[in-house]
Structure 1
């Protein structure tokens, strides 16, 4: 028979060309458990990735981009998973009401966009990463990394930031102390350290540039959100 994946002739249980099995096993409970195990396993799993990004973020991400992409969780999966964790923590404890707050004086599209960012910071984080990647590329352009490589770096770093905010969100929800601001400061410190370490850890200037790239990316993101809302309001009034 022909392979159902590449359409080449198959003579054994697996295709000689692409390795696809002739008979695909039926999805059952064992299949689901195996998928979960593959995500959480030590060598490539999310716990291993978190530990490596916590102790050597720049070195590990550089190694992922240039040499070995099998030791860490895929970066897009990582930032989506961590943003989801943060969003679940926020939905349970309502932590964003205490530290990400915007009250507009009147109803408008701009106010609605900013309120959406306030209420869905975990998802907005995915969009912010794009803006911060542009500013990071601008500040570190001499190192030769392209935009997509820097975006991968940002997926790992900002994913860790979401975990910091989630942890402090849980602590704030359990203790009723205002700890989210501490989590936000820790996020920025980690970002600065990880980005500076990624490019060249022995150059102090890189840490200042890393901090500046984060601030510029965040400011650009907020300005674009405000301008988008103003443009939509203007079009509606025409």
Structure 2
């Protein structure tokens, strides 16, 4: 009888009855690392499937995820962090933002430092901005029976797709030198309200207008709070 290397419990079967660890521990190698990456990113459950479904049926799929069918899509928090990381990597290699965001040394301050931190941590920045957008969505769609956290999950999926679009167009611009990032911004401004409207009620035009308003107001509220916080800190200092 073997002894579990994790908890020290005797093992008579293929798995430890106490902690569930396998009796046969495989050596760490390249295959092990790849499997761990797949597990973290949830690739075995279909990240390409997630991309496709969020492109063509975002509302239906996110509603099903919230209602309990959670084995088909990539986990939302991981999804937005991974897609944000893809864009950060594209920007790191191709420096596409340098032509659009250039703050002089004489304008630097706490507000600039906060925006620069967000620029380097898009995953966390998107989640924080999503909080503000979710609050506006909760206000505009208050008659629907979705709580704040369920709306935040919706935004993780939708904004994650937005970051994927940015990553794709950043790569295209970096390779071809064509200024296509503005096209990506336009696509996102159409996609996000469309996806949110699909989630709440795709049959009503008002859903898309309210979704657009909540998206814009959420971004402005987030930016406004950053500017206010940075200005107050600078005044105190």
TM score, norm. by length of structure 2 = 0.86
CA contact (8 A) 1:102 1:118 kept: no
Q: How much has 1:230 moved relative to structure 2?
A: 1.2
Match of 1:197 in 2: 198
Task: Return closer, same or farther for 1:24/1:102 CA change in 2, 3 Å cut-off.
Answer: same
CA contact (8 A) 2:80 2:123 kept: no
Q: Aligned equivalents of 2:153 and 2:98: distance in 1?
A: 30
Q: Aligned equivalents of 2:121 and 2:142: distance in 1?
A: 31
Task: Return closer, same or farther for 1:140/1:7 CA change in 2, 3 Å cut-off.
Answer: farther
Task: Return closer, same or farther for 1:9/1:139 CA change in 2, 3 Å cut-off.
Answer: farther
Task: Return closer, same or farther for 1:184/1:74 CA change in 2, 3 Å cut-off.
Answer: same
Match of 1:218 in 2: 219
Q: Deviations over 1:169-227 (max 9, x none)?
A: 12222232221111011011110110000011101100001001100100001001001
Q: How much has 1:34 moved relative to structure 2?
A: 2.2
Match of 1:183 in 2: 184
Match of 1:127 in 2: 128
TM score, norm. by length of structure 1 = 0.86
Q: Deviations over 1:11-43 (max 9, x none)?
A: 5332446644356444322212223445474x6
Task: Return closer, same or farther for 1:109/1:205 CA change in 2, 3 Å cut-off.
Answer: same
Q: Deviations over 1:119-170 (max 9, x none)?
A: 6556532322222122222211211111111111111100000011111112
Q: Deviations over 1:67-114 (max 9, x none)?
A: 210101111111011000000111111111223455575332123323
Match of 1:233 in 2: 234
Q: Aligned equivalents of 2:133 and 2:19: distance in 1?
A: 39
Task: Return closer, same or farther for 1:144/1:103 CA change in 2, 3 Å cut-off.
Answer: farther
Does residue 45 (structure 1) correspond to residue 22 (structure 2)? The answer is: no
Q: How much has 1:5 moved relative to structure 2?
A: 7.6
Unaligned segments of structure 2, at least 5 residues: none
Task: Return closer, same or farther for 1:199/1:22 CA change in 2, 3 Å cut-off.
Answer: same
Count of aligned pairs between the two proteins: 235
RMSD: 2.7
Unaligned segments of structure 1, at least 5 residues: none
Q: Aligned equivalents of 1:174 and 1:218: distance in 2?
A: 30
CA contact (8 A) 1:110 1:225 kept: yes
What are the residue-to-residue correspondences of 1:145-160 with 2, within 5 Å? 145-160=146-161
Q: Aligned equivalents of 1:119 and 1:26: distance in 2?
A: 36
Q: Aligned equivalents of 1:166 and 1:28: distance in 2?
A: 31
Q: Aligned equivalents of 1:29 and 1:128: distance in 2?
A: 37
What are the residue-to-residue correspondences of 1:49-198 with 2, within 5 Å? 49-103=50-104, 106-117=107-118, 121=122, 124-198=125-199
